[in-house]
Structure 1
Amino acid sequence: MAEEELQMEEGGKGKKMMIIIIVAVLLIGSGAAAYFLMGGDDEPVAVETAEMPEGTGDAAPAVSGPNKGTALYVAMPRPFVFNVPGQGKDRLAQIKVQLMVRGTDNEELAKMHVPLIEGTLLRVFSSANADDLVTEAGKVSLRDQAAREVQKVLKETIGNEVVEQVLFTGFVMQ
């Protein structure tokens, strides 16, 4: 009887040891898998770069001609909300706009003439047709027309186009 108890104890220790070994192997295996999946290799990636003229550094390249300077964005203070007539029914539209200008001088001029720009944009937007604004081409056409009209009004007022692009940052139509 004593011998049977001794064999049972030794058999129990063997099973416990086997479970510990299996758990250790699983932990080491999962750690290795995590290392290879997340760690990766630390070799630097070669990136080809174009030669830049001397003295340009990391700054955005200046554009020659009338649009000189760094691109800056002037947000209109509030979204434009207006009715748009359509063939089936009239719709309500809301457009959030930012103006792209070049250089701090043009940025200050655009900020100074925000009421004039808002009036011009509202006039252009409210002349749109809901059926056209449903399509991407209609939105692009409206954006381009808005840019031309703003440039025209600013050129008449201050002698400079100031705004390079009109950008829609939000467009909702119900």
Structure 2
Amino acid sequence: MAEEKDTEQNEEQEDTGGKKKKLILFGVIGLVLVATVILVLWLFGGTSSNEATPRETPEQASNDFENASAPEIGNALYVGMPRPFVFIVPGDSRERTVQIKAQLMVRGEENEELAKKHIPLIEGTLHEVFSSSTADRLKTAEGKGQLRELALTEVRNALQEVTGKPVVEQVLFTSLVMQ
């Protein structure tokens, strides 16, 4: 009988000892995972909020307009044109009808509001640029890219005259159909 009690006590001690070992093992694994996550965030994390970014004066910004690739304020937001652009372009053997759906990429809510406010100006400018193209240019990817760049330049120039800043970062074609 005494032997049975001793065996039961030894089994209980082994069970609690095994549980302690498992608990310690899980604790160590957990610490290693937490340390790894912290290390990854520290190495690949963004810039610190302590780093100062130099600001341009309005004079510098207006002088650099021709060299500026885009306004760099805020998150990228997209302003959709309310209607697709439908126009006729001359083709190799006949005229073609083209439909382009476009969106504007802007940075920051202020630029988004400015773009929405000046949609009629933007639509007029884009229609003028699009209808000056030819079917041959619109058939190639290079021609479409050139048309997007020309549209961006013209829209930015028009908005610069009205608002004092370029507002739009990119003109994106979401659909282009030619018949």
TM-score of the superposed pair, with normalisation by structure 2 = 0.64
1:134-145 map, 5 Å: 134-145=139-150
Q: Whole-Å Cα distance in 1 between the matches of residues 79 and 45 of structure 2?
A: 32
Give the one of 43, 46, 52 matched to 2:46: 52
Quote the sequence identity (%): 56
Give the one of 73, 92, 96 matched to 1:91: 96
Q: Whole-Å Cα distance in 2 between the matches of residues 78 and 112 of structure 1?
A: 15
Show the counterpart of 1:154: 159
Asked if residue 110 in structure 1 is aligned to residue 104 in structure 2, the reply is: no
Show the counterpart of 1:71: 76
- Segments of structure 2 that go 5 or more residues without pairing to the other structure are 1-32, 57-70
Query: RMSD of the alignment, in Å?
Result: 2.3
Q: Whole-Å Cα distance in 2 between the matches of residues 85 and 127 of structure 1?
A: 9
Q: Deviations over 1:1-40 (max 9, x none)?
A: xxxxxxxxxxxxxxxxxxxxxxxxxxxxxxxxxxxxxxxx
Q: How many residues align?
A: 124
Show the counterpart of 2:176: 171
Larger Rg: 1
Q: Deviations over 1:114-151 (max 9, x none)?
A: 00000000000000010110000000000110000000
Counterpart amino acid of 1:52? G
TM-score of the superposed pair, with normalisation by structure 1 = 0.66
Counterpart amino acid of 1:104? E
Q: Give the C-alpha shift of residue 84 in structure 1.
A: 0.8
- Give secondary structure in 2 for the equivalent of 1:95: strand
Q: Give the C-alpha shift of residue 90 in structure 1.
A: 0.7
Q: Give the C-alpha shift of residue 104 in structure 1.
A: 0.2
Q: Whole-Å Cα distance in 1 between the matches of residues 46 and 166 of structure 2?
A: 29
